[in-house]
């Protein structure tokens, strides 16, 4: 399915008559790089549904990208900020909670999460994977 979503995103960029050639090039580069990142997540063994949701979320922000600076912001990894004893997200239009969930999952494999990190991880897990969260029946 990821390949289909990538093809769809490329077609939308190529067929967009409202953007300049420069914008089109920047958007195509963004699409390619995010597709590469999504494939890297798949190779690490992450759930395909979450990886695809990350890719789709990022592609929804693609029409907002028109400059190299936008491209740099778009390509930033979706990491939360720790403030006031809890994790918060940036309110940049390119932020992906799905990618943040992938990062929390990877981080949790490296060692125990602090309480605020665990709470954020569970919040995202329940939001993005509600059926799996019900099956696991978190305390």
pTM listed for this prediction: 0.92
Residue-level pLDDT, tens digit, the chain, 139 residues: 999 999 999 999 999 999 999 999 999 999 999 999 999 999 999 999 999 999 999 999 999 999 999 999 999 999 999 988 999 887 788 999 999 999 999 999 999 999 999 999 999 999 999 998 888 876 4
11, 19, 26, 65, 67 from 22: Cα distances, Å: 16, 8, 6, 11, 8
SS (H, E, C) 44-96: CCCCHHHHHHHHHHHHHCHHHCCCHHHHHHHHCCCCCEEECCEEECCCCCCCC
Count up the domains in the chain and report the number. 1
Domain hosting residue 17, numbered range: 2-136
Nearest-CA neighbor of 9 among 47, 65, 92? 65
């Amino acid at each position: 399915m990821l390949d289909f979503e990538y093809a769809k995103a490329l077609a939308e960029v190529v067929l967009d008559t409202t953007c300049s050639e420069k914008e089109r090039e920047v958007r195509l580069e963004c699409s390619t790089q995010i597709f590469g990142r999504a494939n890297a997540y798949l190779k690490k063994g992450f759930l395909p549904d979450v990886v695809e949701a990350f890719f789709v979320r990022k592609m929804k922000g693609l029409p907002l990208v028109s400059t190299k600076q936008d491209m740099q912001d778009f390509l930033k990894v979706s990491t939360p900020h720790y403030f006031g004893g809890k994790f918060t997200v940036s309110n940049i239009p390119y932020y992906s909670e799905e990618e943040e969930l992938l990062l929390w999952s990877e981080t949790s494999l490296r060692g125990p999460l602090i309480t605020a990190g665990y709470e954020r991880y569970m919040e995202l897990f329940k939001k993005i994977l509600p059926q799996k969260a019900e099956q696991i029946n978190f305390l």
